[in-house]
Amino acid sequence: MTDKNTINIYRNKALVNFEGKNFLGQIGVDSRIFQALNEGGISVGVISQQAIENGISVLVDEVDAEDAVKFLKKEFEKEAKEGHVSNIYSIDNLSVIGFVSDNYNKILSELQRNKIFPLLLSQIASAGRVNIVVTENQTEITKNIIETEIYGKPKTVHLALIGHGNVGGTLVEQILDSAYDILKRKRVDLKIVAIANSKKIAFNQTGFGSDWRQKIKFSQTDSSIERLVEFAKEHHLENLVMVDNTASKDFVKHYPTFVENGFDVVGSNKIYNTLPISEYRDFRKLLEKNKKKYLYETNVGAGLPLIDTIKLLHLSGENITRIKGVFSGTLSYVFNNFSLRNDKYSVVIREAMEKGFTEPDPREDLSGNDVARKLLILARELDLINEFQDINIQNLVPENLLDIDKNEFISRLEELDSEYQSVKENQKPDHVLRYVGDLHGNLQEEKGELDVKLISVPANSALGQLKGSDSIFEIYTESYGENPIVIMGAGAGAKVTARGVFGDILRLSETK
């Protein structure tokens, strides 16, 4: 049926399934099936006892399926009356895909990762010949996966990018700029097939190009997760990745739906990782069950390789005893500049916003929530089961400005000036302000202690010398003793963050 180096596809096939207990294993049943169908002039492709539980499946041409069921019901009328045969029925609209491979298991696992479960498979082990039966609408995607695995055809990765603001918009440009290079060097074909904001979504199954902003601007389609999942199914897209570059608390509720529908997840959005620990854990179980991944390296330290480092240290058994530092690019920029310059606090905050360091609502930074989330994310990487409420947070936003509209808050930033001017002036000489996070306590217990606060440090200390929007993370471990591992660098900004998200997409694409 199958030549080496070709993939043969036979369409318009049907499976006639024959169900019954005990009786089906008996000698002579196969030949009675053959004979009954032969006498009816129906040619039989494959007979398999593995495809359905307690059953036999027979492959026939779709046009013959109805007759095949009729002939078999007649042949086994007596057994049906006696209760040995419980059901005979056909499944139409199938394809047989035949190929030769010495690594069928790898192909099967790739198919499963893409939610393709063949209805029947037959294998001649010695020759490496395999025939699998899939539904017609899974034929193309199955063929693509087999081609990638057998012939090294470039692997197409289909990206759905949710959020195209500072980070998301920069990411689209970075992907478009590098896609050709990645295709040549890595044989990975990155296609952006969906782009969404909170109101609209735009689709292009062949991949968006440089006019993507126009396409989303003029899209008539309301932003909808259901529509996106449907689109991926309609176009039989394999290797799906949903990339969340929003800061939305509502959007993360859809992560499980994506995973259940065959998507891996990449996110700069920190919200999912700071939901109650039960949801955090359930999601990891769901990922495992569906053989999917969730990568979020940019959740802490933007493009800095922090989460991976901590994961590796922890996984390798290194005992991490404390993590502290300046976790916020925004608050680093604000206090590094405000401490040294004569400008007002509000002026420096506005600069941080203009530079794209702040969250969509800058109160998330100024309230300490964003630093608290990062600290919690790191704590959970160490298997601590802290909740957000466990964190001691020093909120820098006055209570009367907490619940007002975001734009009104921004217009009233000057109301913060006098308080912070006096905080700055009341420090000891040669001291500067720094907003820090500190994970400490006995980290071998279930929960650690998490503090997020504004402190005053000597200008010549490591923290005091921080510049620009740099973050600094000091990771203390048992082996390294008093000398922490220090990771320092740009802790915010659209370019470095988008680059980090891009890194996660590539990491996923290579392991897919």
Ligand X SMILES: NC(=O)C1=CN([C@@H]2O[C@H](COP(=O)(O)OP(=O)(O)OC[C@H]3O[C@@H](n4cnc5c(N)ncnc54)[C@H](OP(=O)(O)O)[C@@H]3O)[C@@H](O)[C@H]2O)C=CC1
Ligand Y SMILES: N[C@@H](CC=O)C(=O)O
Closer to ligand Y by CB, 85 or 243: give it.
243
Q: What is the DSSP string of 61-108?
A: EGGGHHHHHHHHHHHTHHHHHTTS--EEEEEEEEEEEEEE-S-HHHHH
Closer to ligand X by CB, 68 or 494: give it.
494
- Binding window for ligand X (CB under 6 A); candidates: 67-75, 173-181, 262-270, 481-489: 262-270
Instruction: Report in angstroms how near the CB of residue 282 gets to ligand Y at its nearest.
Output: 25
Closest residue to bound ligand X by CB: 165
Taking CB under 6 A as the criterion, the residue among 357, 435, 476, 502 binding ligand Y is 357
Closest residue to bound ligand Y by CB: 330
Closer to ligand Y by CB, 71 or 272: give it.
272
Q: What's the rounded Cα separation, in Å, for the pair 267 and 16?
A: 45
Closest to 475 (Cα-Cα) out of 325, 326, 323, 327:
323
Q: Which does 142 bind (CB under 5 to 8 A by kind): ligand X, ligand Y, none?
A: none
330 binds ligand Y (CB under 6 A): yes
167 binds ligand X (CB under 6 A): yes
290 binds ligand Y (CB under 6 A): no
Site string for ligand X, 211-230 (x = CB under 6 A): ------------x-------
Taking CB under 6 A as the criterion, the residue among 95, 101, 139, 269 binding ligand X is 269
244 binds ligand Y (CB under 6 A): no
- Binding window for ligand Y (CB under 6 A); candidates: 220-228, 340-348, 351-359, 375-383: 351-359
Beta strands 188-196 and 155-162: pairing type?
parallel
Residues touching ligand X, count (CB under 6 A) = 32
Distance of CA 278 to the CA centre of its chain: 19
435 binds ligand Y (CB under 6 A): no
Is 374 one of the catalytic residues?
Answer: yes
170 binds ligand Y (CB under 6 A): no
Closer to ligand X by CB, 115 or 164: give it.
164
Q: What's the rounded Cα separation, in Å, for the pair 152 and 32?
A: 43
- Binding window for ligand X (CB under 6 A); candidates: 70-78, 103-111, 246-254, 409-417: 246-254
Instruction: Report in angstroms how near the CB of residue 226 gets to ligand X at its nearest.
Output: 13
Three-state DSSP class for 423?
helix
8 Å CB contact between 98 and 130: yes
Closer to ligand Y by CB, 166 or 386: give it.
166
Tabulate helix, strand, coil % of the chain (nearest 5).
Answer: 45, 25, 35
Show the tokens assigned to 362: 């800058």
8 Å CB contact between 237 and 264: no
Give helix then strand counts, H and E, for the chain. 18, 18
Taking CB under 6 A as the criterion, the residue among 329, 368, 448, 484 binding ligand Y is 329
Q: What is the DSSP string of 158-183?
A: EEEEE--SHHHHHHHHHHHHHHHHHH
270 binds ligand X (CB under 6 A): yes
Please calculate the CA angle 245-249-251 and round it to the nearest 5 degrees.
60
162 binds ligand X (CB under 6 A): yes
- Binding window for ligand X (CB under 6 A); candidates: 77-85, 410-418, 477-485, 491-499: 491-499
Instruction: Report in angstroms how near the CB of residue 170 gets to ligand X at its nearest.
Output: 8
Q: Which residue matches tokens 């037959």?
A: 122
Closer to ligand Y by CB, 99 or 296: give it.
296
Query: Facing residues of 435 across strands?
Result: 454
Taking CB under 6 A as the criterion, the residue among 64, 75, 149, 365 binding ligand Y is 365
Closer to ligand X by CB, 130 or 492: give it.
492
Count CB neighbours of 151 within 10 A. 11
Q: Which does 489 bind (CB under 5 to 8 A by kind): ligand X, ligand Y, none?
A: none
Which residues in 477-496 contact ligand Y (CB under 6 A)? 491-492
Q: Which does 199 bind (CB under 5 to 8 A by kind): ligand X, ligand Y, none?
A: ligand X
248 binds ligand X (CB under 6 A): yes
Three-state DSSP class for 45?
coil
**187 torsion bin: left (phi>0), alpha (psi -120 to 50), beta (else):** left
Q: Which does 196 bind (CB under 5 to 8 A by kind): ligand Y, ligand X, none?
A: ligand X
8 Å CB contact between 98 and 1: yes
Q: What's the rounded Cα separation, in Å, for the pair 304 and 345?
A: 27
Q: What's the rounded Cα separation, in Å, for the pair 323 and 306?
A: 11
- Binding window for ligand Y (CB under 6 A); candidates: 72-80, 181-189, 327-335, 380-388: 327-335
8 Å CB contact between 71 and 37: yes
154 binds ligand X (CB under 6 A): no
Catalytic residue among 292, 293, 374, 512: 374
How many residues does the structure list for the chain? 512
Q: What's the rounded Cα separation, in Å, for the pair 361 and 443?
A: 32
8 Å CB contact between 406 and 361: yes
- Binding window for ligand X (CB under 6 A); candidates: 28-36, 52-60, 247-255, 333-341: 247-255
Instruction: Report in angstroms how near the CB of residue 247 gets to ligand Y at its nearest.
Output: 9
Residue 360 DSSP label: S
Kindly list the catalytic residues.
Answer: 374
Interacting residue ranges for ligand X, rule: CB under 6 A = 162-168, 196-199, 223, 245-248, 250-251, 268-270, 298, 302, 329, 356-357, 359-360, 492-494, 497
Interacting residue ranges for ligand Y, rule: CB under 6 A = 302, 328-330, 357-359, 365, 370, 491-492
